Amino acid sequence: MSDPLVQLKGVSRRFEERLALRPVDLALKAGGCVALVGENGSGKSTLLRIACGRDAPTTGTALFDGAPVREDDPAVRARVAVVADAPAFYPDLTVREHLLLVAVSHGVGDDAEAWVDWALEDRRLTDHRDARPSTLSSGQVQAMLLASALVRPRDLLVLDEPEQRLDPGARERLAERLLAERADGVAVLLATHSADLASAVADSVIVLDEGRVVSRGKPA
Ligand SMILES: Nc1ncnc2c1ncn2[C@@H]1O[C@H](COP(=O)(O)OP(=O)(O)OP(=O)(O)O)[C@@H](O)[C@H]1O
């Protein structure tokens, strides 16, 4: 049995008086998928931020591949792709140019154009490749954020409500893509409000309520 890629041991997070997350354990292996579900404010994004090293837990330990996780650690930067809701774009670069920037920054090198053209096709963005992101619809922006995670090497994909703003067809393609990532050995950790997405892609679901794990197990 391989060691977990992501291991959270008793992680909690307090924001001043508010206990946003009570101690949680989580283990995720290569090719596995854990989905976090729960109402607004239940602690899903807080847990994701700790797992990818964007935020430090108040108590407990968060490990990536056996070492404490920090997002500015070169190993974490190289291996963890995060899709969260904070798009910032260069106004004069096209969709394709943004994706090339991501690919080249992550060392894809000579293959960058091929990776980008594949990701544009995979997310149905080929027709918009020469558009400025400011002219995209909100669903197309979301597809572009997903594409940006696909144009770089990755062992762990962390996604915060990746289904938001996507139409039903795009949601279905998202589920297919996440299953394909898993089949390639990529670990997937996502927060979602979609029971359909969680049951289609996750092998384990954690239900949070006011920062507390109230249930965990198979999607069914
Ligand atoms: N930086 C912060 N400062 C203070 N409180 C915070 C901060 N980040 C999150 N919180 C609080 O922590 C709690 C959990 O928030 P979190 O964003 O993790 O919820 P969520 O389950 O992701 O919600 P949603 O479904 O709305 O995205 C909330 O009560 C929120 O107000």
As for how many domains the chain has, the answer is: 1
Is 36 domain-assigned?
yes
Q: Which atom in ligand 1 lies closest to the alpha carbon of residue 42?
A: 21
Write the pLDDT tens digit of every residue in 152-162: 999 999 999 99
CB-based contacts of 18-25 (< 8 A; 24+ apart in sequence): 19/211, 20/46, 20/211, 21/46, 21/47, 21/50, 21/57, 21/208, 21/211, 22/211, 22/212, 22/213, 23/59, 23/60, 24/60, 24/206, 24/213
Confidence of residue 1 (pLDDT cuts 50, 70, 90): low
Nearest CA to ligand 1 atom 16: 43
Is 157 domain-assigned?
yes
Is 142 domain-assigned?
yes
What's the first-to-final CA gap in the chain, in angstroms? 25
- How high does pLDDT run on average in the chain? 95
Write the pLDDT tens digit of every residue in 107-142: 999 999 999 999 999 999 999 999 999 999 999 999
Is 96 domain-assigned?
yes
Looking at residue 119, its pLDDT comes to 97
Give the CATH number, domain containing residue 28.
3.40.50.300
Q: Which atom in ligand 1 lies closest to the alpha carbon of residue 193?
A: 25
20 Cα–ligand 1 center, Å: 7
Is 1 domain-assigned?
no
**All residues at 6 or more sequence positions from 73 whose CB lies less than 8 Å from its CB, including other chains:** 53, 67
Among 12, 13, 15, 21, residue to substitute to test ligand 1 (most atoms within 8 Å of Cβ): 15
45 Cα–ligand 1 center, Å: 7
Write the pLDDT tens digit of every residue in 86-107: 778 999 999 999 999 999 999 9
Per residue, the 3-state secondary structure of 12-32, as one string, reads EEEECCEEEEEEEEEEECCCC
Is 127 domain-assigned?
yes
Does the predicted interface ipTM exceed a cut of 0.95? yes
Is 123 domain-assigned?
yes
Residue range of the domain that includes 146: 6-217
Is 34 domain-assigned?
yes
Helices (H), 62-137: 74-79, 95-105, 112-122
